[in-house]
Structure 1
Amino acid sequence: MAMRSVVTRAGVNRLAGPARLFSDGRGKILSEEERAAENVYIQKMEREKLEKLKHKAEKEKAEKEKEAAEKKPGEK
């Protein structure tokens, strides 16, 4: 079973593109600075995504309130 997963992983890496080589003998792929920059970028993207979702929710809420306000005078 373990041998099968190793073969599967090797096959997936081959299909995904060239493997990223290690930058040093300790197995680190990214330097500390690169990792920090990547984390900042990820946080920025997540923050922007949340802001878009918040804006969308506010817009939908305003539309629902507008529709509700338009229906009330017509019902009386």
Structure 2
Amino acid sequence: MAMRSIVRRISLNPLMEGTRRAPRFFSDGKVFGEEEKAAENIYIKRVERERLEKLKLKEEKQKAAAEKEKSEKKAEEDAHKG
């Protein structure tokens, strides 16, 4: 009979169903999930910063290419005039 109650408790445990995660507590009372959230926030900020840096480099390359094209057109026009 004791075995049935153990099995019943285990099967009713939401952790076993995988639908929810119960918070794990440290000795000081902080929830383990807070550290996970902090690590995730750091990761997200790093990825966003890298994405912005890539966009900035792409913009600078496009600007440099446009300036180069503009200067080439100007040089070509000057050659035809002279």
TM-score (norm 2): 0.59
Q: How many residues align?
A: 54
1:47-69, Cα deviation, whole Å (9 max, x unpaired): 00000000000000000000001
Paired residue secondary structure (1:31): helix
1:21 corresponds to which residue?
A: 20
Misfit runs of 4+, over 2 Å? none
Q: Which runs of 5+ in 1 are unaligned?
A: 1-17, 25-29
- Which residues in structure 2 correspond to 1:11-50 (within 5 Å)? 20-24=19-23, 31-50=33-52
- Structure 1 position 19, deviation (Å): 5.7
2:66 corresponds to which residue?
A: 64
**In 1, Cα distance between equivalents of 2:57 and 2:19:** 38
Q: Which runs of 5+ in 2 are unaligned?
A: 1-16, 24-31
**In 2, Cα distance between equivalents of 1:42 and 1:63:** 32
- The 3 A distance-change label for structure 1 pair 57 and 20 is farther
- The 3 A distance-change label for structure 1 pair 47 and 20 is farther
CA RMSD, aligned part only? 1.9
User: Aligned residues: percent identity?
Assistant: 54
